[in-house]
Every structure is written in structure tokens, then in C-alpha cells.
Structure 1
Amino acid sequence: MKPARSYPMTMIHLLRAVYWYDEALQSNLRRDGWPTPTRTQSMLFANIAMGETRPARLAANLGITRQSMSQLIATMVERNILVAEPDPHDRRAQKITFHPDSAPLRHAAEMVMTGLHEHLGTRLGEDRLSALDDAISMDWGPIPDLRPLERK
């Protein structure tokens, strides 16, 4: 029996899907002998792959402090996974990118992600997976300013 709920579960379902993807990625990388990133590291890499390069924005996206982000970046720089260099557009800021030495790990992760996509196509059906991709890749517009719900 499903528990009663009074709100849509879209965010919960999306979050569960992100966790599933991340756990599958980590499990497959570990199986193939790669160092397994933490979920925070994995989400950091995903943000950088999406084009986010500023530490302050990366920290905000991951919901961690700037100090924690600086420590995380420093660790990944020491491991030759990331590069931190002055942002050419703002010398006060840093730009975070992937280190060239991380290319084999990134390629392995891309292969796992491709395999996961193919697996989901089989499990969910190509039409459903295509519809899901279309829906979540759309521009959802600016963040809405919703009026507070009236309390009864």
C-alpha cells in the first residue's frame, strides 16, 4: 500500500533517479578499478561537465560552503583531476576545469553513462526514455515566485 501524500512527488522521483545514476556510476567505475568519487565529488564533476567553472557557483549548486568547496577543489587539484587557474574575465576569481590527466577517468565515466542510458532504454522503453530526456532537458524558465499557500 502506498503512503498517502498531499503533494506531487516529482522532486522526490528526480532525486531518486540522480541517486540511482550516481550509485550505478560509482559501482561500475569501482568494478573497473577506478577510484570511486564521493557523491559530492561526482556532483562537482557533473557541474563542471555542464560548464560551471566558478567555485562560488559550484558551492551553491552543491549546497556546501565556499570553504568546503575550496578544500574539495584543492584535493582534486592534488590528484590531477581538476585545474584551478585565474579566471581570465575576473582575476579575483578562479576557473575550475578538468586536468588533462583526468581524461581516462572521464572517458570511463562517459562509457558508463552511455551504458546506463542504453540500459534504461531497454528497461523503460526507448519512447519513455526519449520523453523523459525531452522533459528534463527543456528550459523550465526562471525560478517562480510562488505565493505562500493559505493555511486552513
Structure 2
Amino acid sequence: MTINANDLQQARQQHIGRQLQQAARDFNARALSKLRERGHTGLGAAHLNLLPYLEVGGTRLTTLAEQAGMTKQAAHQLVTELERQGYLSRQPDPQDRRAQRVTFTPEGMGFLEDADAIKREIAAEYRAKLGPDYWQHLGEALTLLLAPES
């Protein structure tokens, strides 16, 4: 079976994977805009792709890179940028002095508080757009979709 070029292009653009990706990009763009309004002007999309993987109590740099799906070099560069901005600090890991543990500074904890408020704002915006029933169904559907198979 041969698909013509127009149908193939449309199929590449209109599928659930693309829609989920576009929804995530919309969320991140809204979050970044709201963070900048709150004074977090030095943050970019790459920083927002790393920070969710940093545990509040700290995370090893290698673990952070692995969980964020990036190279150690890329994670190192982003952590260095976030250190310069005052959000993060690095110390030797108490369990392995050769490893570095990345933690939030007090300013970084302030960022987390702002980010939490912003997540709730964006959720309220989406809920208002979808209505309470669709919002609830979306959350339930995503939970089912992303649940590990047993």
C-alpha cells in the first residue's frame, strides 16, 4: 500500500504523540512566561527540562543527567548556569566523595514555590478551557495511559 505525500505529511503531523508533545510545549511555554514575570528571567526551556528531576533533598549529577535524558556534559553545563544564577549548589556526595550532589539553594527553594503556584495557575487555565468533566477525564486518561503495564 502506497500513501501519497500529502497524506503521509498529514499523518506525521496529526497523531497522539504530536498532540502530547504540543501540549507539553504549551505548558512549558506558559510556565516559562509566568516564571519570567516572577523575576526568574535567566531561565530557559533547557533549564525547565532539567529542574523537575532534581530532588528537593539533592541529586547526584550523574543521576540527574540520566533521569533528564541528557549527557553528563549537558547536565553539568545547565547546573553550572543555574549555580551562577543562585538556584543550585554542588557539594561532594556524602556517600561517595568522588560524586557531586546538586541541591537547591534558598533562592532555588523560592523558585520551587513559584513553580508550584504556576503549575496550579496553568492547571486552572486548562480546567477553565476544558470544563470540569473533560479536565477530570483528561487526568484519568493520562494516568491510565502512563501507568506501567503489569
**TM-score, structure 2 normalization:** 0.75
* C-alpha distance 133-57 of structure 1, shift in aligned 2 (>3 A): farther
Structure with larger RCO (C-alpha < 8 A, sep 6+):
2
Residue aligned with 1:5, SS: helix
1:99 pairs with 2:99: no
1:149 corresponds in structure 2 to none
State the identity as a percent: 25
Segments of structure 2 that go 5 or more residues without pairing to the other structure are 1-6
User: Which letter does structure 1 place at the counterpart of 2:76?
Assistant: S
1:35 corresponds in structure 2 to 41
* C-alpha distance 13-50 of structure 1, shift in aligned 2 (>3 A): farther
Segments of structure 1 that go 5 or more residues without pairing to the other structure are 143-152
Q: Residue 129 of structure 2: which of 120, 123, 130 is its match? A: 123
Q: Residue 12 of structure 1: which of 15, 18, 23 is its match? A: 18
1:52 Cα deviation from its structure 2 partner: 7.9
Question: Which 4+ stretches in 1 moved above 4 angstroms?
Answer: 49-52
Q: Residue 140 of structure 1: which of 111, 123, 147 is its match? A: 147
1:22 Cα deviation from its structure 2 partner: 0.8
Q: Distance in 2 between matches of 1:11 and 1:50?
A: 30
* C-alpha distance 12-50 of structure 1, shift in aligned 2 (>3 A): farther
Q: Distance in 1 between matches of 2:99 and 2:57?
A: 16
**TM-score, structure 1 normalization:** 0.74
Structure with the larger helix share: 2
